[in-house]
Structure 1
Amino acid sequence: MNTYIDIGINLTNKQFQNDTDDIVQDAQDADVAKMILTGTSVRNSEESSRIAKQYPGVLYATAGIHPHDAKSFDSQSILKLKNLLLQKHVVSVGECGLDFDRDFSPRNKQEECYKAQLALAIEVQKPLFLHERAAFAKFIGITKDYLPQLPKAAVHCFTGSLEEAKIYLDNGFYLGFTGAISDSKRFGHLKEVVQYVPLDRMMIETDAPFMLPKNVPNSLLKKYHERRCEPAFLPFVAGTVAQFKGIPLSKVAEETTQNAKAFFVI
């Protein structure tokens, strides 16, 4: 039997309100054995940790400040994140990084917040869950200064170019892929990226409720909530990887699951 690990779900999102039990059960029914809740602010990371704690061995959490929320970063933020990261079920620092696409937080504040979380990852020796949009040069420039001491790092929801993917791989990063890879209109270039990235440096995620895979049948969408992405849809991400690489689905399931277990120590 294929089993999967979803390395990034936004279970605190209001689209999932009062729905946690069903979301988790439906995912497990679809062979998604473990899921990691993404923390995007101090408050959100605390909430993700609280939910994950209720499902031991199934749900885990990250603790971090997303670049969109960097404006909330203050003198207490790192201490609060560190306290969360001392818990065993909080497995990664992030989601953190830079987003110069939307600029919801000032760029200098994003950089300050990101650097502080890189230092935190080194201190607590837990892997990084990274976000980068339209900021590749600055992002890689900052990160390289910390690389010699950094634990493992994954660029989540990768939608960049093949050239960017190569640079990430050359620097030891893992890449996380979502349902975006099945969107040939917006992200057609990702087929070449998926074909290039070695399976042992790849993980899969839904980023639910976002990034709905294009290959989810309408019958399943009606069963859930119209356009809402669910962790139960992770096998469709894996299916696209298998199709692009011309390998069995079971191989994708096995390798990405092993990668996630080793990366997050779960």
Structure 2
Amino acid sequence: MIELVDIGVNLTHSRFAKDRDAVVTRAAAVGVTHMVLTGTNIAESQAAATYAAHNPQMFRSTAGVHPHHASEWGEPALAQLREIAALPVVGAIGETGLDYNRDFSPRPAQRSAFAAQLELAVELGYSVFLHQRDAEDDFLAILNDYRAQLPKAVLHCFTGNRAFLERCLEMDLSIGVTGWLCDDRRGQALRECVSAIPLAQLMIETDAPFLIPKDYPKKSKTGRNEPAYLPHILQHVSALRDESLEMIARVTHANSIEFFRF
């Protein structure tokens, strides 16, 4: 069986509350042997680390404050995040970055929280798990101040075009590809440039429970995405790159295992 790593699973989200363990079992049954559980605020980062600690062979977690929650950032959050990041299952700082699409937190607060978390990652020697929506210039400008001091960085759930991809690759960012590319309309820019991602910088993910692939043949009635759908994303990546499923699986697995310190 092909072995896959899902680098972005919001497994502690409330939409998984009733069947979280069953979701993991379904994923494992189709070859998703490892998952990275996303921390989006202090509480979720702690919850992700706690769940991951039950099976550290299968899980890593991230510890961070998503730009949607940037207004919650401050010295107490920094202290708590530093404590969570010290746990052995934590594989990266994040999810952190900028989101000017929804502006759930004021943009100055987003930029401040982003820079502070990059500083923490540099201090601790951690790689970073990044988020960006409609904030390309500010995102890259802030990241550029720290990139040389960071071991690695992955832009999770890439939705940009070829021009932005090239700017990210110039900064040696890894790229996380989701079911966004399964949408012929919304994901067209990603579909057109996914073949340009160097193999050494390619990873795949579901971002479950969000971003269910539009063309998935057996969608749940709730419309919830699951890590068990990752092989479907792999098939799209393979077809668009004209490379074998086995090769894409092998490379993305190796990239992810190393990046997240399994």
TM-score bracket, normalised by the shorter chain, equals over 0.9
User: RMSD value over aligned CA atoms?
Assistant: 1.0
Secondary structure of the residue that 2:35 maps to in structure 1? strand
Following superposition, the deviation at residue 147 of structure 1 comes to 1.6
Following superposition, the deviation at residue 78 of structure 1 comes to 1.3
Comparing 54-63 with 250-259, greater Cα deviation is found at: 54-63
Following superposition, the deviation at residue 215 of structure 1 comes to 3.5
Secondary structure of the residue that 2:225 maps to in structure 1? coil
Secondary structure of the residue that 1:186 maps to in structure 2? coil
- Are 1:76 and 2:76 matched, yes or no? yes
Following superposition, the deviation at residue 109 of structure 1 comes to 0.5
Q: CA offsets, 1:201-227, max 9 Å, x none?
A: 110000001111133222xx35xx541
Q: CA offsets, 1:76-125, max 9 Å, x none?
A: 11111111111111111000000011100011111110010000000111
Secondary structure of the residue that 1:103 maps to in structure 2? coil
Query: Could you say which residue in structure 1 is the equivalent of 2:193?
Result: 193
For residues 169 and 198 of structure 2, what CA distance do their matches in structure 1 show? 9
Query: Could you say which residue in structure 2 is the equivalent of 1:237?
Result: 233
Query: Could you say which residue in structure 2 is the equivalent of 1:56?
Result: 56
For residues 155 and 26 of structure 1, what CA distance do their matches in structure 2 show? 27
Query: Could you say which residue in structure 1 is the equivalent of 2:205?
Result: 205
2:248 corresponds to which letter in structure 1? Answer: V
- Are 1:183 and 2:183 matched, yes or no? yes
For residues 226 and 18 of structure 1, what CA distance do their matches in structure 2 show? 13
- The correspondence of residues 78-227 of structure 1 with structure 2, limited to 5 A, is 78-218=78-218, 221-222=219-220, 225-227=221-223
2:240 corresponds to which letter in structure 1? Answer: F
Comparing 59-68 with 206-215, greater Cα deviation is found at: 206-215
State TM-score, norm by structure 1. 0.96
Secondary structure of the residue that 2:113 maps to in structure 1? helix
2:208 corresponds to which letter in structure 1? Answer: A
For residues 69 and 28 of structure 1, what CA distance do their matches in structure 2 show? 31
Percent identity, please. 39
- Are 1:261 and 2:257 matched, yes or no? yes
Secondary structure of the residue that 2:80 maps to in structure 1? helix
- Are 1:252 and 2:259 matched, yes or no? no
Following superposition, the deviation at residue 158 of structure 1 comes to 0.2
For residues 88 and 43 of structure 2, what CA distance do their matches in structure 1 show? 18
Query: Could you say which residue in structure 1 is the equivalent of 2:25?
Result: 25
For residues 97 and 60 of structure 2, what CA distance do their matches in structure 1 show? 20
2:255 corresponds to which letter in structure 1? Answer: N
2:164 corresponds to which letter in structure 1? Answer: E
2:225 corresponds to which letter in structure 1? Answer: C
Secondary structure of the residue that 2:185 maps to in structure 1? helix
For residues 62 and 108 of structure 1, what CA distance do their matches in structure 2 show? 23
1:215/1:236 contact within 8 Å kept: no
Q: CA offsets, 1:174-194, max 9 Å, x none?
A: 000000011011111111210
Following superposition, the deviation at residue 40 of structure 1 comes to 0.4
For residues 31 and 199 of structure 1, what CA distance do their matches in structure 2 show? 20
Q: CA offsets, 1:64-84, max 9 Å, x none?
A: 000000011121111111111
2:60/2:260 contact within 8 Å kept: no
Aligned length: 262
